[in-house]
Structure 1
């Protein structure tokens, strides 16, 4: 019995291939585990955002720069390379120079007013502490309003004939007649008038950013300054503002770029008038592209506009962003 079983076992062994696997059952290769480094994992997570930016930011920017060197006829579908002629025409245009100056003035006015008012609000919120929660919520309401709606609202408030602002000023005796002050029809003050809705809308953003920066200031430094008898104004100028430099740089750059490209608020209120007194570069580029049908010249203006904002942002960051330095 033992000899038969041992013989059968021998035959079973000889029937098997040398690999030890039964015929008809191919062996499965072992699964290989791919391990990503931290850098590779980070790149993998950023890949979708990179593809999105390349498709919707880099490609349009590249097309903008390329189109600025061509004379484009949209109706005829023709493109003719003309080099830097579009840039020469832009620099030689008094309309472009005037719109550039107005854009700079508008941006300085809006950002300066928002910074002063936002810093005052942030300091008040910081001083009140938790008691300012409801006030902070109410203060952020204008940030939720669409710019088009804000432009329409302020247009009805400041319109010459029956605007609420002039009616209130007349009732208080500041002006004699509601038509005496043309907020949106006087070329001398219209740029200030169209800036008011922008200031009203986004001062809360500036206050929110600065308040977040105040919350992260080292408390021991502020407490030591109070014990040393530092006055509130000196505390603000010599301690708080230097420590807030990185936050201020981010807030000013973000709001500066956003204010420089203001379009919808001004379009709704004055459409660039009167006498182009409120026409900024965004409106001029839009009109050159849509109304006058000159994509090449509009692309050249847009490229110059982009380079100017990039240069201002780099200078602002290099000047203000000095964390830890007084």
Structure 2
């Protein structure tokens, strides 16, 4: 009996793997060369961080620093420290204030139109389901056009005397003559006219973002609301839009900042005219720097513009998204 038990113990020891001479396994959080996951991730992000530091952070620092100096437009010219004089000149000037109001008006026109049209189109595509795949592809085509090309295209459509749009309206009997409406020459109308290309160009972006958000709206909630007798408007206002708040916040912030810095489309169409009626802050900063040769004043305007955009973004995130609030 004793011999049989001793044989079983010996067989058990032979069957068990011998781990005495095996090297200890490295911890899961370590790399082969002793690099942790955190350091490895930081190494991967280093090229992007260097790029942002060189082409974003450093120009922003130079912008803020130059705003406190009176700088000669000649390369290597004198620099005179003037403190907040550039900021006082910018804020106290009627040109800056008028350009700021036009920028706000232009942004509201563009973003409001794009949001309404984009949400309506996204709801239509969502209702069509897979049948809308071809239409979604066609609808995204304007997003692939360069803003300069879009500005030139709409300039040919809206330009006075020879504009295609006025001739079409004249042919169908809506205008008495092809020159009845001065889209790009009427100071009261030009801001709306230069907003049309921007709306046409980027409504597809708003549609794409909102359509992606609609795919995450739970269908059972909508079905339960329909069974309870909720109509389409109630579904939209009480369920869909509240559930889309984070998506709406991102879309409005991205498009709002992009519309507020509109430059190339307006420059191609009117150059800020007539009578500065379409001059936005971006155009004013550009003209102050290049045409009038005042880099210090232009830097102060740019810094004020940056602060305003940051404030608007924070307010939009807080009131539209409302992080932490129950949806």
Partner residue, 1:179: 179
Aligned mates of 2:192, 2:90 — CA distance in 1: 26
Quick check: which has more Rg, 1 or 2?
1
Per-residue Cα deviation, 1:87-142 (whole angstroms, up to 9, x for no partner): 01001111110000000000000000000000001000000000001000000000
**Is residue 2:200 matched to residue 1:200?**
yes
Is the 1:273–1:279 contact (alpha carbons within 8 Å) kept by the matching residues of 2?
A: yes
Partner residue, 2:231: 231
Aligned-pair CA distance for 1:35: 3.4
Is the 1:166–1:179 contact (alpha carbons within 8 Å) kept by the matching residues of 2?
A: yes
Instruction: Give the 4+ runs in structure 1 shifted more than 6 A.
Output: none
Per-residue Cα deviation, 1:183-206 (whole angstroms, up to 9, x for no partner): 000000000000000000000000
User: What stretches of structure 1 of length at least 5 have no aligned partner?
Assistant: 1-31
Aligned-pair CA distance for 1:44: 2.2
Aligned-pair CA distance for 1:157: 0.3
Per-residue Cα deviation, 1:252-299 (whole angstroms, up to 9, x for no partner): 000000000000000000000000000000000000000111100000
Matched residue of 1:315: which SS? helix
Per-residue Cα deviation, 1:293-325 (whole angstroms, up to 9, x for no partner): 110000000000000000000000001113663
- Root-mean-square deviation (CA), in Å? 1.3
Partner residue, 1:10: none
TM-score of the two chains, using structure 2 as the length reference: 0.88
Per-residue Cα deviation, 1:171-193 (whole angstroms, up to 9, x for no partner): 22222111110000000000000
Question: How many residues matched?
Answer: 295
Per-residue Cα deviation, 1:4-44 (whole angstroms, up to 9, x for no partner): xxxxxxxxxxxxxxxxxxxxxxxxxxxx9433333333222
Is the 1:242–1:325 contact (alpha carbons within 8 Å) kept by the matching residues of 2?
A: no
Aligned mates of 2:180, 2:199 — CA distance in 1: 24
Matched residue of 1:212: which SS? helix
TM-score of the two chains, using structure 1 as the length reference: 0.88
Partner residue, 1:148: 148
